[in-house]
């Protein structure tokens, strides 16, 4: 299987790998793939962490290596890059409805003044009501926070705007 691989083929493959903790969006849609560089059968992928402490980063790294080697890459280097810092604005527009359908309210975009964004109501991903309140800046993963919907009387998760 070994042989030259096209950059497009690598991007397409990365578009098939889903976030281990949000399995409805791909790494490409999540905006964590910064760069792809192909030299013959050697591939270098620049991967940006959403949050520095995100435990899923290691899983993403391993999966990228595995999938690209299966594609025929002799060598896969996944480099962790921090510049520019990942932002929820980097999530692809087409991924936003998928997040909401998964029960995870997408972050308002663009993130300019954090305090304004956090005090504005977020729509409940279940019933669409904006009669909601921010309950906790922190949630079940580093990239999520917890809101409460007064219409459904249920908490819901939302992407933490950064």
Partner 1 sequence: MRLELRSLLADALLGLADDEMILAHRDSEWTGHAPILEEDIAFANIALDEMGHAGIWYRLVAELRGEDPDSYPDRLVFHRAPDEFRCIRMVELPKGDWAFTIVRQFLFDSAEVVRLQALQQSHHAPLAKAAAKIAVEERYHDRHLHAWVRRLGLGTEESHRRMQTALDQLWPDTVQLFEPPSHESELTAAGLFPAAEPMAAEWAEGAAATLADADLKIQRGTPGMNGGREKHTDHLELLLAEMQSVARLEPQASW
The residue count of the chain comes to 162
3-state secondary structure of 44: strand
> Which CB sits closer to partner 1, 82 or 120?
82
Strands 33-39 and 42-47: antiparallel
Q: Specify whether the CB–CB gap between 21 and 141 falls below 8 A.
A: yes
Is 114 among the residues that bind partner 1 (CB under 8 A)? Answer: yes
Select the span of 24-32, 64-72, 95-103, 132-140 touching partner 1 (CB under 8 A): 132-140
> Which CB sits closer to partner 1, 26 or 88?
88
Is 119 among the residues that bind partner 1 (CB under 8 A)? Answer: no
> Which CB sits closer to partner 1, 82 or 130?
82
> HSE of 132 in the Cβ direction (CA atoms, 13 Å)?
27
CA angle 72, 76, 77 (to 5 degrees): 170
Among 22, 139, 156, 157, binds partner 1 (CB under 8 A): 139
> Which CB sits closer to partner 1, 125 or 139?
139
> Which CB sits closer to partner 1, 83 or 94?
83
Is 101 among the residues that bind partner 1 (CB under 8 A)? Answer: no
User: Can you tell me which residue has the tokens 């999520």?
Assistant: 144
> HSE of 105 in the Cβ direction (CA atoms, 13 Å)?
29
Extract the tokens encoding 2.
């070994």
Please report, as ranges, the residues that interact with partner 1 according to CB under 8 A: 49, 51-55, 80, 82-85, 87, 114, 135-140, 142, 146, 160, 162
């Amino acid at each position: 299987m070994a042989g030259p691989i096209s950059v497009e083929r690598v991007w397409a493959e990365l578009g098939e790998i889903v976030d281990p903790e949000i399995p409805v969006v791909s790494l490409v849609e999540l905006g964590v793939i910064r760069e792809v560089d192909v030299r013959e059968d050697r591939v270098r992928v620049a991967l940006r962490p959403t949050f520095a402490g995100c435990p899923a980063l290691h899983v993403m790294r391993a999966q990228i290596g595995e999938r690209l080697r299966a594609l025929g890459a002799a060598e896969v280097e996944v480099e962790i890059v921090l510049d520019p810092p990942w932002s929820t604005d980097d999530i692809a527009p087409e991924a936003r409805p998928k997040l909401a359908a998964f029960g995870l309210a997408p972050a308002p975009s663009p993130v300019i003044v954090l305090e304004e964004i956090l005090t504005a109501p977020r729509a409940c991903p279940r019933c669409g009501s904006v009669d909601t309140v921010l309950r906790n800046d922190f949630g079940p993963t580093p990239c999520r926070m917890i809101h409460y919907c007064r219409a459904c009387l249920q908490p819901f998760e939302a992407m933490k705007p950064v």
